Chain A
């Protein structure tokens, strides 16, 4: 007999009245969200990126104005843009494919009056300079990202197949899953005590089986010293109005949002949030450092 399942618990503050685990972040479609946010049209090509409404909800829920947000895989930059629009400071890491577009989206947001400061970096030079990485990203209040499925892999069958025997899905290895699991350990030193890690993920299937992301993240969070505190459903399509029973039908899609908390270390005082959004000396210094190192900011 298998041993009794361990419960996933976390000591958390009391729930805020009115904030519920269902985020209707899809009341308007992705195209309308991007248009309303002033994004460049090419942003729609980043199909696996975090929708702006989901990013905006998470940023409002887990940070205050003046705090810092990091997306280590920001793609076209929706997290960075939503953060600076909400008065937070943001850093996004992305590869050469999306970096020009993410930076253009950030520039457009700043031009439109977004009060926060932001920058988009290429992670390649960052990863080669750990000291510089900590200087730029240290003290992050929120790491917000999404699972981007591998572009390469076995061909997908049009027809879902019955589940085939395979390894424990919690140990399912793929570059995307390994990257996401490693992300929690990677970002832990960058988090300010009391900060949060939020991962929003679409369902990922292989061979008729659903990726057991809850266990993958649970295990990685435990090893990184992060505590799960929330699991929400971010709707990416409208929650329909009341329908008569005859026309009811299952509809809609969602992202599962996993939230982890970095408990304050006993001997580590929680430093206050950055002032402003108008003044961001640390980020300005970081941007200057990045420019000196040859990073685009």
Chain B
């Protein structure tokens, strides 16, 4: 099987969501905030990294919604959007949402909803409850009614753990791992969730609060490498509201919008400054192609020796 990258530059002829062709040029590592909002950015991720007809699994983090909100910009709530996908997401893909189950005693051999993907709802009620159009297969409990799960620093019972069955592999898994709750990431069988040519998209960001700075990036890349995934791309998603202007360049009024060379008389603020996180990191991972098993020794056809005996 050939593994074709799905970046726009690598596949200039590939049809994107909606039938548009991606523009030619170098692959961008910065995606400005989509005018349509965070939901459209999520749709763009799916449109670029999942082919039409591919199964897409949205995996909201267990309790990321409880994370404290700080930062100067309008920080996108990726966890909420993963749990509440808009109807446009399912136009070209089979989109599934996987969330944690209601709290309570969890039996390893419990009913199918505990393991999520085995149950599917279809029909008009799905639209009203999850925002997906009729006919979209939605697995697991309704994200709108799912209460917060247990603490985040251990594998969640609602997520497919190492012993959970994974009946369906997805061509694209999208999840979010906040800086205060990514302890569940190493516990998931990521390679089992993905097709051999699938893609895992992780949305994460740094966090600074009360002088404490947390960066989940090294831990995530290390954990997913251990899980058999290779880090293939790193894309920056600036927060909404970051337009070219003084606010993005430094303290208000200290520098014009466009880059200007600092003059010798410029008055600087009191360094060192600490930058407030104002962007999301979109990390792309793919399963490592396993080397071929050493093949069986080729059977040698018995050589036909011409017998010179004439009987």
Residues of A bordering B, CB below 8 Å: 1-28, 33, 36-37, 52-53, 56-57, 60-65, 82, 85-87, 113-115, 159-165, 168-170, 196, 203, 208-210, 212, 214-215, 218, 228-233, 235, 237-245, 248-254, 256, 261
Contact = CB atoms under 8 A, between A and B. Distances in A.
B160 interface: no
Contacts of A168: 225
A169 B231 CA distance: 9
Interface stretch (B55-63, B111-119, B208-216): B208-216
B179 interface: yes
Contact of A20 (B73, B153, B263): B73
A163 B206 CA distance: 27
B32 interface: yes
Given A2-B226, A20-B72, A62-B272, A212 B221 contact: yes
B32 A239 contact: yes
Nearest to B291: A165
A82 to B, nearest CB: 8
A233 B28 contact: no
B251 A18 contact: yes
25 contacts: A2-B227, A4-B153, A8-B214, A8-B218, A9-B215, A12-B208, A12-B211, A12-B274, A19-B276, A20-B72, A20-B242, A22-B248, A24-B249, A61-B275, A62-B271, A85-B261, A85-B264, A163-B287, A169-B225, A169-B230, A215-B222, A230-B275, A231-B217, A251-B25, A261-B272
Interface size class of B (residues with CB under 8 A): 35 or more
Contacts, number: 295
B34 interface: yes
A248 B214 contact: no
B17 to A, nearest CB: 12
A62 B168 CA distance: 50
A110 B234 CA distance: 39
B199 to A, nearest CB: 11
